[in-house]
């Protein structure tokens, strides 16, 4: 594959991801002027639930299947290894864009917080979730996670070297701070509609299932070292169990997505 073309492809996919990610925040947070979880007039409940569930399932299947090591080995027989990660990010971004575009709202309010202090607290928790999520990607290797590092190394004619084991900052307290950020962002809302609840339940369920698959790959890749890390550090809830080892000790903490 042409090196310059690989870089252009990687950059274009990354820009698409940034646009999709930014819009997703607005979609979940209900920012005026954007398509949101509650935009539009609710239609038939059964149709809305079926459509929304199908959209969520499509994203879950894409993300789960394409992230597996066995699929990657098969997939890179057809797609150059240098752009494999970018292609994964492209597929995930398109799946999210489709979900946002075709999402059907559901009537009904599960809870509504009117107290100003309570609303501010929930907005702050949601903002904290998005922040933890984004910061966590940079704590490991943001540009490797979204494919830019791979195409850059390919352009330099250098072999891609996977990041070393590390557990910086958040990874010393939870094994999956990126997923923790999503959970906080999806659930911390002062206005929980029926559609938002469906979204939050489905995505949280996917996260829990996805962690099982991901940790199976991590154990297969890192072996006993990751098993020991898993015993020391809780999955999603900080301080639920023993804390990680002191800073400086090598531990596997980089998600294999």
Is the residue at 153 inside a domain? yes
pLDDT tier for residue 191 given thresholds of 50, 70 and 90:
very high
As given in the structure block, the two tokens for residue 112 are 């509504």
Is the residue at 253 inside a domain? no
Is the residue at 223 inside a domain? yes
As given in the structure block, the two tokens for residue 132 are 């933890």
The total of structural domains in the chain comes to 1
> Tell me, what's the pLDDT at 226?
83
The per-residue pLDDT for range 124-136, each reduced to its tens digit, is 999 999 999 999 9
Is the residue at 164 inside a domain? yes
Beta strands in 146-213 (DSSP E): 191-193
The per-residue pLDDT for range 76-106, each reduced to its tens digit, is 999 999 999 999 999 999 999 999 999 999 9
Mean model confidence pLDDT for the chain: 89
Owning domain of residue 162 = 3-232
Other beta carbons within 10 angstroms of residue 40's beta carbon come to: 10
As given in the structure block, the two tokens for residue 60 are 């879950």
What would the mean pLDDT of 25-51 be, rounded to a whole number? Answer: 95
Is the residue at 257 inside a domain? no
Is the residue at 77 inside a domain? yes
Is the residue at 251 inside a domain? no
Is the residue at 239 inside a domain? no
Instruction: Report pTM.
Output: 0.88
């Amino acid at each position: 594959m042409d090196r310059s073309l690989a870089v252009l492809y990687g950059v274009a996919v990354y820009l698409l991801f940034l646009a999709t990610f930014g819009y997703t925040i607005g979609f979940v947070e209900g920012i005026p002027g954007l398509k949101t979880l509650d935009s539009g007039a609710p239609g038939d409940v059964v149709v809305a639930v079926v459509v929304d569930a199908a959209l969520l399932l499509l994203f879950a299947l894409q993300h789960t299947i394409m992230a597996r090591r066995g699929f990657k080995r098969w997939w890179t027989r057809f797609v150059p290894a240098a752009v494999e990660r970018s292609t994964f990010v492209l597929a995930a971004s398109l799946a999210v864009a489709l979900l946002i575009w075709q999402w059907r709202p559901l009537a009904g309010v599960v809870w509504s917080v009117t107290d100003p202090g309570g609303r501010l607290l929930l907005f702050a928790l949601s903002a904290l979730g998005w922040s933890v999520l984004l910061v966590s990607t940079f704590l490991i290797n943001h540009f490797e996670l979204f494919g830019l590092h791979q195409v850059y190394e390919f352009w330099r004619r250098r072999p891609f070297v996977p990041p070393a084991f590390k557990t910086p900052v958040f990874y010393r307290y939870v094994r999956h701070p990126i997923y923790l950020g999503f959970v906080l962002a999806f659930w911390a809302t002062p206005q929980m509609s029926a559609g938002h609840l469906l979204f939050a339940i489905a995505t949280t369920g996917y996260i829990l299932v996805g962690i099982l698959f991901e940790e199976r790959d991590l154990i297969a890749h890192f072996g006993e070292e990751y098993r020991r890390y898993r015993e020391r550090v809780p999955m999603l809830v900080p301080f639920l169990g023993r804390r990680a080892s002191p800073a400086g000790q090598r531990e596997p903490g980089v998600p294999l997505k």
